[in-house]
Structure 1
């Protein structure tokens, strides 16, 4: 059963925001999300946390500046997701603007797996780098960093994932989550860590007089990349991340973006002039991610670093094709998962672990996420890897820190997990195929011991009822422009409506006309083909439905129940 639970609104905070000139609807929404002062809504660059506050940036800047002055060769080793691709693009574009000799590599998901492995170092060594830089990976690469140092490479880790008990012996580590780092924004994405490193490097080069004879590179021009990677990686949008995202979106809306970002918007059929976080997370990001899931993320990185609009568009169209293929593969895997879970009893299980021999490694994370959303259980989906191993990708619910759960599994059964890493809400791991059943059982025991029973009850947090005057196109457009995402959720309202009309669209979606106090509203619930009772309590989002050039407000139903 799903509970609809309105958020509490601190009235004093809401009043203070309104006194500061914030729109009354936004003031209420912000206050419910912990905003107490208008300064917390300042998304100007002057409000950004300074680079020197992030441990390791100064040391990385000195090492990189020395390398640039010496004409040393640098190689960036990226991750194969959107965060890793954008972080790599930020590094390549910034370092080249600073005059560096920089190249990049990204591991093949299937043959090499995640991160800076010793095998990846051997591939990098063919480029004869003096400096090896990781982006969005490296904090768990103890053996990989050791291999790089054995080759005589200087090593810089830029990452944001949680560290293990032992840190790699790199020359410099830039990671807000490393021990001893007091950087206030622990939610910085991998692309954010690289952007901060480049800000520190520019300051170091400025101090050395590197720009005395010419114009200093404007790193703010890379904020479209930072915004995309931050939103796509679903990190918490704390104040600092909201600044990075807001600044990136501001540039996109003004038409100032990389050719590759513009091309991805075109491939997705979205307008950059109206860019919002939904576009980045559900339209642009998935197309870029498709390269790492089904092909080679080098394709995505090339899209982001080329200055040729024609080439960018060609690559974006290829990425769009890969994304359609990914959707087809995902649909088949979802059907298989649904069959496996027929008769699933939520009361009898605190977790879900699934494996099918023909599942695609690049899509298991999406499948895990869909199952988690549907059944509200921490879910890990596995696909067959190499040498008798399974690659798993997990998604969690609020109330269970997934990486900590896997860490506890490892402490209790040291031989069970080959390797793992991740965050509170998402993690990856490798196990032996022969151990799948044993892992499923142990994982269930660990989750059941860690999670509170209340956390296993799915509930939709809402912003309560929306006054009739705000059920309008104007309000929908107002909300569309704001920065919403993980940890700062988009508004969901709830109210009681009379169902005036209803019909099923394409055998899949429920289209309704709802009535309240003499007014009628169009509404839709996607992927829901059952009928609604005469009166419902609905949790919904305000959206804009555009058809034949006409825009109307539409209620996007998240859930409804008889009222």
Structure 2
């Protein structure tokens, strides 16, 4: 597939600190930031919770449960956002005086997604008998689409608080209170909170209420900032856009982790992932910590991940983190086999065929694992630059399928699924998600009809011009910018991530030397005018079986290379083409 390289444009303005390198100012300007306060926002700039719809009713429920000593049951989700949200809720409620806080999470293979009637039945059987008011069930990172599960809990006399960030459907579940910044009419300025961010805001509002009511004898209150390491990991892992508010949350959480003040479970996960906590970045969270946490929910049971995050004892957390590390290694093997199947289906698809083919792709294999189809969809979307839905049996040999959809910029994938559901009611059992990622389930017999309906909806809703893949670059580096000072400034200028892209540069280099490392990766020695010494570069997965051209156009990131010394840098190559 041919990639077009487009350079960002942006004019530097505003009063920037003298110590900030002009390169970093240019990068910020290209992202529309002219105010230094918005470049690296602090906690003092966080949006206030006041405008979140449903917050008063949610705080009423929680404050009443704490005052009565009512059992509170937190139900999480089986991804990293859901696991961290569950841990934040349990830890935060206990800090604010709640007793008997319990937690649970659906098992992907047993219960499917979210709060279901079957899960409610199971939770009811597990709850200890106790006098007093019925329990309060709190969903985190899900619930907005769980109508049947919420109704089942209400039928048992439970009170239900839904905290979620997923887009709502035309009707809301029958909960006692709902907090979701994406509800119609909600005035909260940021619609980008992850599920963990939503429950963190609920806890902030609850603490404010309890403080006003004199719940804390010395007029102080628990420091909820101790939960920000978990908030940061869940926010980065869920790939929500890093607007100024989310960047403030993530930066504060990263500072805790770098200072060694993260919870024992996260510190253990950072360690087993082989990352240096002292200079941890959002990219380390996204590509090392989050996958190990997500792996439990994909292949086994996210209860293991939540147990790790709730651990306060390093000696307890370490073996849990090692188990998650082992599950992630197993997940990589499963994913690679599934990707090989998907690649085989498109082995004859060259760039011209891709350009001429359908605007959407559906994939299914009867032997695939439902917990890994999202990763397959993501990888194939990147390869084909098409919206992709990957399906697997909900359970081995079953007649129901679970699918994960991934989209390209400019196409809201949940809206596509909503259009399919509206055009052919009953074709899809259930669906939900965001602009770039969504999930769904349907009977296996409906797959051919869904494939046709999905392709038709994409054709109607997608501008064909968006099918031309491109890489967006921050331009070239000056010769003096290939150094450790600028590499560190770029690393620390984030957090970078979804909606606030990590700096990427492009230029033409002479290839002085090259070799294959680890069978799939390409190690390069590069020369460019004005830089006296060769530059080291690594292109992960870049070995195609053919030697690189003598002159190559590269898209790359500038990174520190501690392995070669305290002043060494290397280029992390994202794209390579003959110049």
Report the Cα distance in structure 1 between the residues aligned to 2:571 and 2:507, rounded to whole angstroms: 11
Deviations 1:225-256 (A, max 9, x none): 00000000000000000000000011111111
Q: CA deviation at 1:313?
A: 0.7
Q: Name the residue aligned to 2:66.
A: 68
Q: Name the residue aligned to 2:359.
A: 350
Q: Name the residue aligned to 2:97.
A: 99
Are 2:185 and 1:185 aligned? no
The answer to which of 335-344 and 174-183 deviates more is 335-344
Aligned counterpart in structure 1 of residue 455 of structure 2, from 444, 457, 464: 444
SS in 2 for 1:191: helix
Are 2:221 and 1:223 aligned? no
The answer to which of 530-539 and 241-250 deviates more is 530-539
Are 2:554 and 1:538 aligned? yes
Query: TM-score, length-normalised on structure 2?
Result: 0.94
Are 2:325 and 1:320 aligned? yes
Q: Name the residue aligned to 2:139.
A: 134
- Answer whether contact 1:18 1:24 (CA < 8 A) is retained: no
SS in 1 for 2:86: helix
Are 2:372 and 1:374 aligned? no
Report the Cα distance in structure 2 between the residues aligned to 1:536 and 1:317, rounded to whole angstroms: 41
Q: How does 1:131-530 map to 2 (within 5 A)?
A: 131-213=136-218, 216-344=221-349, 345-346=353-354, 347-386=356-395, 387-481=398-492, 482-519=494-531, 520-529=534-543, 530=546
Deviations 1:408-433 (A, max 9, x none): 01111112111100000000000111
Report the Cα distance in structure 1 between the residues aligned to 2:378 and 2:73, rounded to whole angstroms: 33
Deviations 1:267-326 (A, max 9, x none): 111121111101111111111111101111111001111111111111001100101111
Report the Cα distance in structure 1 between the residues aligned to 2:39 and 2:560, rounded to whole angstroms: 25
Q: CA deviation at 1:46?
A: 1.3
Report the Cα distance in structure 2 between the residues aligned to 1:168 and 1:148, rounded to whole angstroms: 11
- Answer whether contact 1:20 1:38 (CA < 8 A) is retained: no
SS in 2 for 1:16: coil
Report the Cα distance in structure 1 between the residues aligned to 2:140 and 2:179, rounded to whole angstroms: 10
The answer to which of 478-487 and 208-217 deviates more is 208-217
Q: CA deviation at 1:167?
A: 0.7
- Answer whether contact 2:268 2:314 (CA < 8 A) is retained: yes
- Answer whether contact 1:510 1:531 (CA < 8 A) is retained: no
Report the Cα distance in structure 2 between the residues aligned to 1:370 and 1:318, rounded to whole angstroms: 25
The answer to which of 143-152 and 319-328 deviates more is 143-152
Deviations 1:318-365 (A, max 9, x none): 100101111111111111111111123312111111111111111111
Report the Cα distance in structure 1 between the residues aligned to 2:270 and 2:519, rounded to whole angstroms: 29
Report the Cα distance in structure 1 between the residues aligned to 2:565 and 2:368, rounded to whole angstroms: 42
Between the two proteins, the alignment pairs up a number of residues equal to 560
- Answer whether contact 2:417 2:431 (CA < 8 A) is retained: yes
Q: CA deviation at 1:214?
A: 7.7
- Answer whether contact 2:58 2:177 (CA < 8 A) is retained: yes
Deviations 1:156-214 (A, max 9, x none): 01000000000112111110001110111101000000000011111111111111158
- Answer whether contact 2:40 2:247 (CA < 8 A) is retained: no
- Answer whether contact 1:17 1:27 (CA < 8 A) is retained: no
Q: CA deviation at 1:549?
A: 5.6
SS in 1 for 2:14: helix
The answer to which of 37-46 and 391-400 deviates more is 37-46
Deviations 1:518-550 (A, max 9, x none): 532112212122322222221111123333666
SS in 2 for 1:221: helix
SS in 2 for 1:420: strand
- Answer whether contact 2:90 2:102 (CA < 8 A) is retained: yes
- Answer whether contact 1:353 1:440 (CA < 8 A) is retained: yes
Report the Cα distance in structure 1 between the residues aligned to 2:426 and 2:221, rounded to whole angstroms: 53
Report the Cα distance in structure 1 between the residues aligned to 2:567 and 2:326, rounded to whole angstroms: 29
Q: How does 1:47-58 map to 2 (within 5 A)?
A: 47-58=45-56
Report the Cα distance in structure 2 between the residues aligned to 1:42 and 1:478, rounded to whole angstroms: 12
Query: TM-score, length-normalised on structure 1?
Result: 0.97
Unaligned stretches of 5+ residues in structure 2? 129-133
Q: CA deviation at 1:36?
A: 2.2
Q: 1:301 to 1:19 in 2, by over 3 A?
A: closer
Q: CA deviation at 1:20?
A: 7.5
Q: Name the residue aligned to 1:117.
A: 116
- Answer whether contact 2:211 2:219 (CA < 8 A) is retained: no
Q: 1:58 to 1:406 in 2, by over 3 A?
A: same
Q: 1:39 to 1:546 in 2, by over 3 A?
A: closer
Report the Cα distance in structure 2 between the residues aligned to 1:85 and 1:154, rounded to whole angstroms: 22
Unaligned stretches of 5+ residues in structure 1? none
Report the Cα distance in structure 1 between the residues aligned to 2:216 and 2:566, rounded to whole angstroms: 51
Deviations 1:1-27 (A, max 9, x none): 100100111x2xx13153686431111
- Answer whether contact 1:43 1:247 (CA < 8 A) is retained: no
